[in-house]
Amino acid sequence: MTNGIKDHIKALVKSMTLEEKALLCSGKNFWQMEGIERLEIPSIMVTDGPHGLRKQAGEADHLGLNQSVKATCFPPAVTSASSWDEAALYEMGQAIGEECVQEEVAVILGPGTNIKRSPLCGRNFEYFSEDPYLAGEMAAAWINGVQSQEIGTSLKHFAANNQEKARLVSNSVVDERALREIYLAPFEKAVKQAQPWTVMCSYNRINNVYSCENEWLLTEVLRKEWGFEGLVMTDWGAMNDRVKALKAGLELEMPGPDPHNDKKIADAVRNGELDEAVLDRAAERLLTMIRKACEVRKKEYDAAAHHKLARRIAAESAVLLKNDGMLPLKKDGSYAVIGAFAEAPRYQGAGSSKINPHQVDCVLDSLRENGIAFEYAPGYELEHDTINQALLEEAAACAKGRDGVIVFAGLPDSYESEGFDRTHLNMPESHTALIEAVAAVNPHITVVLLCGSVVLMPWRERVESILLACLGGEAAGSACADVLTGAVNPSGRLAETFPLSLEDTPCYEHFAGEGKDVEYRESIFVGYRYYDWAEKPVAYPFGYGLSYTTFSYDTMDLIWDEEAEKGEARITVTNTGKTAGGEVVQLYISKKQSAVMRAVIELKGFKKV
């Protein structure tokens, strides 16, 4: 921003009344920021994301209950993080930015960058990873993609917001080392590498101080240490004490209007409780963003191209967990496709990120288009998780004698959503019973998992192949078919550990307890850091994923600049198989002798090639 623009904004603030400056600090309504007609300051719109645009045309809500305009439903973060591909996240952000431009939305609320402390968090489908390095890289790429279209983002939910239970009042009791190394680290990386227009503070308290009024967090760390230049806003309804929040470094309260809090701000300036310079600074930051948003000119996006991109990212993000030879499918084979998710796929999470898609691809249609001959049986009811014996028997009969069976299973909306946490890691009883019933009559089974979080797989030794498709967005069906048929070689890698049991998870005894205090007793030992340190076996480790081909790694060279304290690791990767494919090269570091307790290894670099 030029000095001339800065001077203009300062002059504009100087010409405003105290009430007008206070008015800017809360929203005009559910989705719009306040403008001031007298000074020709327009109102701009913000709206939900982060894996697509959720712009509500009618009655507004924050839980995805009411209809929104049609938009491309890209794969949620749980899926896209498994791509380990910053370029793909940048492209997704770019496309979402284009949709914001068409719909005249100035800021999209995302990405969700909170760490997956426990697989029980009901909103994990909206977050990237258990690892702060991977989460930060994915978030930064997405933000840079969106903001390349001159559309703002809102990095959320800042910070230590790792559960849905009592999220408005919970208190995250966490040591500073864990805060710095695990929970703040992905936000730091995203701020330094992408400078989001806004940061959204979370509902919870951190060590007894609400995020929205935490001066150490919002000013000392975010602005002074990390160099954040944008504005800080609340999550919807996250305000506690308006004057304290303004002093702490929070500019915008959403939603609005809130004349009661606007008056509190003005009164605090008049009675000397609040320095007017603090309010002026907030007004300048708000006007700076409004000015940036008003420079964008409306243009239309290509929905077909965006659907194609969503399909590519979903296929690239699928993780092949097991393959004893059944995949890819053979065109001359005789197959059974079983599971109601094959006909009506679960492709996104529930809550404020729920997109109204242009179209939803069906797996059955896509398999037919790929020349795969099959019979279909639903196997279970979508609306109920209890076993339907008649559907189970029909599915077993359909599977009997086939060359192979593809079972679609996972988690329905009722098992994971914004607003509540899971209580276990099991799939619905009907899904597990279906896999067991089919395995009893045919050993050649591929299970395709459609879910937004970790699930237990007591049946995994009884099936030949497992494909984790997560939540694939609106092109989930065609993307699944692309991978199953070999049109796309799976190259996704796990962005979170799949444990053998809930009891094995690091915060099992201290997640979402009965009281308001949530004790982070595991400290830095989150995800693979814990499993490695405790030498605890897992079902599938962080970073794991198979391919239809094989790769070899040559000896690694390390090039270190002692003076700059920077280095490179160089390695040659060779595809030694007969199928083209992508590999994710992952670099971990460790310190063999340390005066303090450390993780055994930590991810510090990766590259998809």
Positions annotated as catalytic residues are: 235
Q: If DSSP codes are grouped into helix, strand and coil, which group holds residue 428?
A: coil
Cα–Cα–Cα angle for 459, 461, 463, rounded to 5 degrees: 75
Q: Which residues contact 256 (CB under 8 A, 6 or more apart)?
A: 26, 27, 28, 29, 34
Q: Is the distance from CB of 115 to CB of 523 less than 8 angstroms? A: no
Rounded distance, CA 428 to CA 251, Å? 44
Q: What is the DSSP string of 370-426?
A: TT-EEEEE--S-SS--S--HHHHHHHHHHHTT-SEEEEEEE--GGGSBTTB--S--P
Packed helices 86-102 and 132-147: angle between N→C axes, nearest 10 degrees: 40
Beta-sheet pairing, 602-608 with 584-589 = antiparallel
Token pair, residue 18, equals 């105290």
Both tokens assigned to 311: 């399909």
Q: Write the CA distances from 513 to 374, 519, 526, integer angstroms.
A: 47, 9, 18
Residue keyed to tokens 């206070």: 22
Give the pairing type, strands 557-561 and 566-570.
Answer: antiparallel
Mapped onto helix, strand or coil, the DSSP state of residue 80 is: helix
Q: Locate all alpha helices (DSSP H) within 202-356, ordered by sequence.
A: 215, 242-248, 259-270, 276-294, 303-317
Give the angle 67-73-74 at the CA atoms, nearest 5°.
155
Instruction: Give the bridge partners for 46, in sequence order.
Output: 107
> In terms of DSSP H, where are the helices of 115-253?
132-147, 176-178, 185-194, 215, 242-248
Q: What is residue 232's three-state secondary structure?
A: strand
- Cβ-based neighbour number of residue 259 at 10 Å: 12
Angle between helices 259-270 and 276-294 (to 10 degrees): 140
